[in-house]
Chain A
Amino acid sequence: MRRGPKVDCESADLTVADPVCVSISVKDSVAKLIKVTSCEFANVLQKKASVPPKEKSPDAGDSDDSANAEPNKPAKSPRKKMPATRIRPPGDTVRLEDRLFYLLQPPLETWLGNESLDFAFEPFPYQYAGVAFLYPRYAAILADEMGLGKTMQAITSIRLLLRTGEVNKVLLICPKPLLTNWRREFELWAPEIPVAIIEGAADKRRWQWGLDSVPVKIANYELMVRDQDILVDGASKFDLVVLDEAQRIKNSSGATSQVVRAIERKRSWALTGTPVENSADDLYGIFEFLAPGYLNTTMTPRSMGKAACDYILRRTKDLVLEDLPPKMFCDPMLNLTAPQQEAYDLAESQGVIRLTEMGDAATIQHVFELVLRLKQICNFDHATGASAKFDRLSADLEEVAASGKKAIVFSQWVNTLQDLSRRLKKDGHSPLEYHGKVPSSRRDDILDRFKNDPDCNVILMSYGAGSVGLNLQFASYVFLFDRWWNPAVEDQAINRAHRIGAVGPVTVTRFIMAGTIEERIDEVLQGKRELFEMMLAHAHGTEAPKSGLSESEIFGLFSLRTPRRNAA
């Protein structure tokens, strides 16, 4: 009997299980038609065919040539690396689908080029980065230093969002003097987008607010309070609200801030070169608009800065503009003329005596009055008209005119500017004035004349009207006839000339009268400026700078102690 061997068989399944596939439905990339008859928002998928063929680069592949190439021997040409600014998902984007949506987008340069979004000028790489920062964000602060083109970056981002159909209704709020500047910038950077400036009588404004055919509405801050009934009634919903010079709402209990925050919206952007002007509370105020409750006043500046960092983009000129011409400071320390000195000494001694006598009843307002009086004497002695500053300014402007350059003169007082205008006219200049007493309707013409009229070498500006938003990079000289309290405001003023497009060095002359209140204020502000710059250089996390003067510092200008206040 034979028995065969027993063979046991064990089977092993060696097939690899079907890979699990995750499909991400990328958001509709077909641009939704914006319901604007005057706009040409064509279907992006079909538009490419109508784009005229670009000139072939020598590196570009050529089908005919490659077809004739030797088999298996491809023509080797170096791979051309294109600039690529990628859009990154914001930190608060939680859903994977949304994060992938941003990661899968083409480089911004490619995208904008394919959308036929032409630019008046080729943007700088950091401006592409700014657009890539703003575009995906529902809450953002673009805090670039003045002159880096926040306006252009915001407009391009709005343009992209409108083109892709992600927003349809945009409200831009800015200071009143900048309304026409924004319109001009839209005409320059996004000429296809209809823009409406909300202005005029109440009935007209109500009609303008209701215009659905205009995707971008521009209004000023003051109007927000007046039109709050229209804006917060629930019928006015915006896809995006942009605040220019957003430090205007840093006081979260202010009426403007409350109305702006009550506007129904999906996205909130803030543009400001100075997100922290005086204290960390400034940032809190802006965040109450961007993301209410995200920051709170009990947070330390360090933790507040850390929490906010993903929402803020700040670049400085030194960081990104290697080709920007230098900015040179000249701080002449002038001596008062004899009549000025006499008037100054008298006013100061009387003022200090009065403050001393008042004791604890003295308020900061009393000190301010004295400071302003002394600063005015530093400008002019009104009894005799003597002015060491004017004598120096007049001499400097002679040189400016002779060299065919242009100059901006800043003062905090309209009366001073008008006085300067009269005196300069006597000296043969043709100064232009741009301040609060100049009607808005005339301001554009004045700026055009300053730019284009070779006989107009000087424009006299108030800090309030001329320090923000204006592009005066054709001016080579900036004179600060008197000093502002806040270095940030002075910087804003200086940067009207020292900004992108400046073709030569900008000389900034800050007049300081030796041995006066101006010298004392300058010392305090210089210290604060250094602190501010040091803190910005170290990003977020340290104590926020105080740019203005505190109560004790103001009393200290006259060696007075700060009065004790009784609790209410």
Chain B
Amino acid sequence: MRPTEKSVTCVGYLSVIEEEIGQVGGLLMLNVQARPVEFHCTAPVKPSRAQEVLYGVTLQAYVTEQIAATLIAKTKLSPSFFVTDSHEVWLSQTESSIPTIFVPSTGSVSDAERIRAYGSSRTSGVGFDISGVEAFVANDRVADKSLVTDFWSEYGQGLEFCEPFERIREALAEAHGNQGGKKRVA
């Protein structure tokens, strides 16, 4: 019997990227064979000059939260957990019912260092290794760690944990007609 949509075991990969035309986000839902079952992406969000001035340093986080919330609201499937390479997305989802783990993008140690440096604050996290990748769960959601690692040991053998982000980036570039000039939003 074919499984219903809700019963499909899947994982959501969520990324927000800053491009010249604004911030764009993509959410890719993968089944246990790493094949896509859902993809949503946003149109570019570019705040006005007034918003930039008045929101100051919090603007980017705010826009990222809005993008993440919009994308998650669109999903038809309920993933076992979300993976994001955006620190802001991770912070905005720490109280969600669905576990969200944060994977600093390759070469970006600053996020990881920042999480450790926050100590016991809300933004601190517990790091763990998954498939050779440094990942974090929120400090007050340590139980999520075993959920993720158990899931990955059952389904993820031989897969590269962060590879789906590459797909999201390519898809966003394709959707917005831009093959370069983008950077991940921290």
Among A18, A21, A73, residue most surrounded by chain B Cβ atoms (within 10 Å): A21
Min CB distance, A423 to chain B, in Å?
Answer: 57
Contact residue among B51, B131, B132 (Cβ-Cβ distance under 8 Å from A16): B51
A82 within 8 A of B: yes
Contact residue among A79, A81, A104 (Cβ-Cβ distance under 8 Å from B167): A104
How far is A103 from B169 in the complex, measured between Cα atoms in Å? 10
Instruction: Report B-chain residues with C-beta under 8 Å of the C-beta of A80.
Output: 131-132, 160
Interface residues of A (CB under 8 A from B): 12, 14, 16-26, 29-30, 43-46, 48, 53-54, 56, 59-63, 66-67, 69, 71-82, 84, 86, 89, 96, 99-101, 103-107, 110-111, 113-115
Are A43 and B128 in contact (CB-based, < 8 A)?
no
How far is A76 from B112 in the complex, measured between Cα atoms in Å? 12
Min CB distance, B72 to chain A, in Å?
Answer: 10
- In the complex formed, the residue of B with least CB distance to A17 is B45
Contact flag A59-B66 (CB < 8 Å), given A21-B71, A24-B40, A106-B35: no
How far is A12 from B49 in the complex, measured between Cα atoms in Å? 12
How far is A107 from B51 in the complex, measured between Cα atoms in Å? 41
Are B174 and A29 in contact (CB-based, < 8 A)?
no
Instruction: Report A-chain residues with C-beta under 8 Å of the C-beta of B174.
Output: 89, 96, 99-100, 103
Are B175 and A100 in contact (CB-based, < 8 A)?
yes
Are A76 and B37 in contact (CB-based, < 8 A)?
no
Min CB distance, B100 to chain A, in Å?
Answer: 17
Instruction: Report B-chain residues with C-beta under 8 Å of the C-beta of A76.
Output: 129, 134
Q: Mark B87-115, 1 if CB is under 8 A from A, else 0.
A: 00000000000000000001000000001
Are A43 and B39 in contact (CB-based, < 8 A)?
no
Q: Mark B125-154, 1 if CB is under 8 A from A, else 0.
A: 111111111111000000001100110110
Interface residues of B (CB under 8 A from A): 2-3, 8-9, 25, 28, 30-43, 45, 47, 50-51, 54-55, 62-63, 66-67, 70-71, 74, 106, 115-116, 124-136, 145-146, 149-150, 152-153, 155, 157-160, 162-164, 167, 170-171, 174-175
- In the complex formed, the residue of A with least CB distance to B127 is A74
Are B43 and A14 in contact (CB-based, < 8 A)?
no
Are A16 and B3 in contact (CB-based, < 8 A)?
no
Instruction: Report B-chain residues with C-beta under 8 Å of the C-beta of A21.
Output: 40-43, 70-71, 74
Are A100 and B35 in contact (CB-based, < 8 A)?
no
Min CB distance, A528 to chain B, in Å?
Answer: 41
How far is A325 from B163 in the complex, measured between Cα atoms in Å? 36
Are B134 and A29 in contact (CB-based, < 8 A)?
no
Instruction: Report B-chain residues with C-beta under 8 Å of the C-beta of A24.
Output: 39-41
Are A45 and B135 in contact (CB-based, < 8 A)?
no
Instruction: Report B-chain residues with C-beta under 8 Å of the C-beta of A103.
Output: 167, 170-171, 174
- Which 4 pairs across A and B sit closest by C-beta, in order of nearness? A74-B127, A63-B149, A20-B43, A114-B33
- In the complex formed, the residue of A with least CB distance to B129 is A75
Min CB distance, A536 to chain B, in Å?
Answer: 29
Contact residue among B33, B50, B54 (Cβ-Cβ distance under 8 Å from A115): B33
- In the complex formed, the residue of A with least CB distance to B164 is A106
- In the complex formed, the residue of B with least CB distance to A46 is B3
- In the complex formed, the residue of B with least CB distance to A18 is B70
Contact flag A114-B34 (CB < 8 Å), given A61-B149, A74-B127, A99-B174: yes
Among A75, A84, A115, residue most surrounded by chain B Cβ atoms (within 10 Å): A75
Are B47 and A16 in contact (CB-based, < 8 A)?
yes
Are B45 and A63 in contact (CB-based, < 8 A)?
no
Instruction: Report A-chain residues with C-beta under 8 Å of the C-beta of B162.
Output: 79
Are A16 and B45 in contact (CB-based, < 8 A)?
yes
Instruction: Report A-chain residues with C-beta under 8 Å of the C-beta of B155.
Output: 48
Are A14 and B37 in contact (CB-based, < 8 A)?
no
Are B39 and A100 in contact (CB-based, < 8 A)?
yes
Are B157 and A60 in contact (CB-based, < 8 A)?
yes
Are A29 and B31 in contact (CB-based, < 8 A)?
yes
Are B129 and A74 in contact (CB-based, < 8 A)?
yes
Instruction: Report B-chain residues with C-beta under 8 Å of the C-beta of A71.
Output: 126
